[in-house]
Structure 1
Amino acid sequence: MISKRRTRRDGFTLVELLVVIAIIGILVGLLLPAVQAAREAARRMSCSNNFKQIGLAIHNYHSTYKQMPMQSGGTYENVGNRHLLSYMVGLTPFVEQQGLWEQISNPRAVNHNGTPRTPPFPSMGPVPWDRNYTPWLTQLGTYRCPSDPETPPANYEAFTNYAACIGDGIASNNHSCVNQDGTEMGWCTPRKGSFNRGFFQTRVTTKFRDILDGLSNTIACGEICVDNNFKEVKATVVNRGSDASFFITPVDCKDTIDPERPQFHLPGTNTNNYSVSQGKGMRWCDGRPMLSSITTIMPPNGVSCAWSGDGSDGMFTVGSRHPGGAHVLMGDGAVRFITESIEAGDNTANSPNWPVGSSTTPPGAKSPYGLWGALGTRACKETQGLTD
């Protein structure tokens, strides 16, 4: 009887090896997007936690001082900061930055480069663009979204991604009828309350009692993208110069968007000077609307326009590096993610506070900008809330 020998195989065939390599390649291809998505989810949660810390700080500030920190507040004595400080400056001791607050709230006799300064910087610091003042160049992690990759150049003012909500108006929302020295502008004082209808008012103190629509129904702050100098729609504020048509119909502000690349403005569009940090989010300490305020007119990641430079009035839209929308902080401290598709009413409608002196848009008028506009106003009896 003839015995059969079993042949022994010591390795894979070429076909088997190629199949295994192909399977591994497919698995790696599937894994990489999942890893990226997981990282963005972690960054988004970290961003939300930062906003929660800011919300808690606002409530603790109010418990301490019986009012909210002023957006574009500060001092005018010895010139000082000319009432241009953001709400975030006053929050520093409430976001675990007591050391920084002590530097700001006391005179400082040293420049950023270590040389002596005579006379010293006054209490509450100089104007927000003074790069000799160390506190304005100090980056606070709580004020930055980890999904935003922009970082300030050396010896530039530090950035922020969290801006104060000043409502759904455009005209005069940069001063609310208050001069830099704190005195009232006589020409618009009778309409003072209607210029900023939001949780915050530029250069005007607000309190929780002023939020008649309810803290849970009113946006306190919104997320913004730091200007990256690429003329990106959601990160750039267009300088309209003498063209004020967008004051009347905000949708006109879209005429600079590139139809072939709708995420960007057309080449040559007049934007503010990036090299001197006059853009969205480029100074956490600066309370002027372009740098640290938002309006609820265009939905998230929409276009932004200003009358002219960084100190002017305009429309400043929420935006983020998160896919599909951006975070907002409600007055009660809750953080919500608002999608780009939120109902935003009629963007061809006149701004509620334009034209100045008009009797057709009283301070309590309903926002023309739908649910989004209603969430940005504090006392217009529009109590639509956001549901989970």
Structure 2
Amino acid sequence: MNSRRGGRGGRGGRGGFTLVELLVVIAIIGVLVGLLLPAVQAAREAARRMSCSNNFKQIGLSLHNYHSAYDQFPQESTGTYYFSPTSNQNSLSWIVGTLPFIEQQALWQQISNPLAQNSDGSVRTPPFPAMGPVPWDTNYTPWLTTVGAFRCPSDPTVGTAGQTGLSNYACCIGDAIQTTHDGGVNTLGVVTDPAVKSRLRGVFEPRHVTHFRDILDGTSNTLMCGEIVTDAGNLEINGQPKFNQQDPFFFDPQICYSDNVDPQRPQFWTDATDTGGADQRRGKRWADGRPMYSSVNTVRPPNKESCLWGGDGADGTLTMGSRHQGGCHILMADGAIRFVTESIEAGDQSRATLPKAGVPGEQSPYGLWGALGTKAGHEVKSLP
């Protein structure tokens, strides 16, 4: 007579895992997850980095198309002169001009025509003038808009409701500190510093028009734009500049770095003093043509300190940076996207930049990095 209560291998038995076998399987799964997670994270960052590169490529194409249409690059710090309180004080960024060339025609139409609507949806009488008010006016809806093509997917900072829109891409204004805030031209369009052209050596010159023909060093050897970190208010040196670093800052910029960087945490400032208000953050106000918001220079290597002589409308060191590991993307004048590391050769960092008197034709003191930022220095240096 056959028993209905057979053993594990019998006809009537039911197979199963022992506790030891189950623990071994769980351990193996845990090891595999531990091995795969870093690879997954790396793959995700690689995808974000590729997306960022594609965004920058589109911006490069928009600049080339703008030049094809108007025979010049969009101007950094432009707009309507300060003849009335409703003007934008000649303070719009280069990004505004690229909008129709980057599939943002609807936003461009709002800006380029009078807009009779406040940001809360109420009717405005009289309407905002064509080309809008000052770029920090939070009652103007276009300035509050964040355009996806201007954001790096690796940057986690999220905009605050009611504040101006964000951007991770800025134009290069050369290898100098001084007069980069207004290009020696005031808000009425009057030239106040005739010697400024000896210092403004980038593809973009604030309140001055530039063309492809000005790039004598070759478009493949000249940096046109670079990434910036959108500041989240946590005192990172590659995010928020240090304000009010007045003389002798122009003659020894190292004073700002040595006096204000936390020696225990060299990626952070020591305190929040002179780092601006909630809306005065690096990467905010994409429509603002003042250096802190939409410009970079090739003084400090990527992800290093930024320091300003005065407040958020002043000039200073405007460092590139990103949330990508070890460096940032740059856009060359020929439209190529390159990734530069924090260790790029940057010359004599103890040297102050070109003096206010101007030294026409002087070689950039910042090595390869500085040479890439100048368009006509006859320093034909290129990235490897």
TM-score w.r.t. the length of structure 2 is 0.94
1:226 aligns with 2:230: yes
CA distance in 1, matches of 2:188, 2:166: 26
CA contact (8 A) 1:251 1:348 kept: yes
1:250 aligns with 2:253: yes
CA distance in 2, matches of 1:74, 1:364: 30
Which position in structure 2 is the counterpart of 1:288? Answer: 290
1:271 aligns with 2:275: yes
Q: Which structure 2 residues correspond to residues 37-76 of structure 1 after superposition, within 5 A?
A: 37-76=42-81
Q: Which structure 2 residues correspond to residues 93-132 of structure 1 after superposition, within 5 A?
A: 93-132=100-139
CA distance in 1, matches of 2:7, 2:230: 71
Which position in structure 1 is the counterpart of 2:19? Answer: 14
State the one-letter code of the partner of 2:221: N
CA contact (8 A) 2:235 2:272 kept: no
1:374 aligns with 2:378: no
Which position in structure 1 is the counterpart of 2:307? Answer: 305
SS at match of 1:92: helix
- Give, in angstroms, the shift of residue 78 of structure 1: 3.4
Which position in structure 1 is the counterpart of 2:3? Answer: none
1:157 aligns with 2:159: no
CA contact (8 A) 1:289 1:311 kept: yes
The range that moved more, 232-241 or 200-209, is: 232-241
Indicate which of 155, 161, 164 corresponds to 1:148: 155
SS at match of 1:90: helix
State the one-letter code of the partner of 2:95: M
- Give, in angstroms, the shift of residue 372 of structure 1: 0.4
Residues 268, 97 of structure 1: alpha-carbon distance in 2 compared, 3 angstrom cutoff: closer
- How big is each residue's C-alpha offset from its partner over 1:279-298, in whole Å with a ceiling of 9 and x where there is no partner? 21111100100111001011
Q: Can you give the 5+ residue segments of structure 1 that lack an aligned partner in the other structure?
A: none
SS at match of 1:220: strand
- How big is each residue's C-alpha offset from its partner over 1:26-82, in whole Å with a ceiling of 9 and x where there is no partner? 101111111111111111111100000000000000000000000011112534111
SS at match of 1:327: strand
CA contact (8 A) 1:176 1:195 kept: no
1:330 aligns with 2:332: yes
| RMSD between superposed Cα atoms in Å | 1.5
- Give, in angstroms, the shift of residue 11 of structure 1: 2.6
Q: Can you give the 5+ residue segments of structure 2 that lack an aligned partner in the other structure?
A: 1-5
CA contact (8 A) 2:179 2:196 kept: no
Q: Tell me the percent identity.
A: 57
CA contact (8 A) 1:248 1:350 kept: yes
State the one-letter code of the partner of 2:336: A
SS at match of 2:217: coil
Indicate which of 27, 37, 41 corresponds to 1:32: 37
CA contact (8 A) 1:194 1:363 kept: yes
CA distance in 2, matches of 1:220, 1:66: 16
State the one-letter code of the partner of 1:377: T
Residues 128, 7 of structure 1: alpha-carbon distance in 2 compared, 3 angstrom cutoff: closer
SS at match of 2:170: strand
- Give, in angstroms, the shift of residue 120 of structure 1: 1.3
- How big is each residue's C-alpha offset from its partner over 1:226-284, in whole Å with a ceiling of 9 and x where there is no partner? 1111100100100134x3233113333212111111111112442111x2x11211111
Count of aligned pairs:
372
Which position in structure 1 is the counterpart of 2:215? Answer: 211
Which position in structure 1 is the counterpart of 2:180? Answer: 173
CA contact (8 A) 1:128 1:285 kept: yes
- Give, in angstroms, the shift of residue 6 of structure 1: 9.4
State the one-letter code of the partner of 1:334: A
Residues 123, 219 of structure 1: alpha-carbon distance in 2 compared, 3 angstrom cutoff: same
CA distance in 1, matches of 2:334, 2:43: 29
Which position in structure 2 is the counterpart of 1:23? Answer: 28
Which position in structure 2 is the counterpart of 1:348? Answer: 350
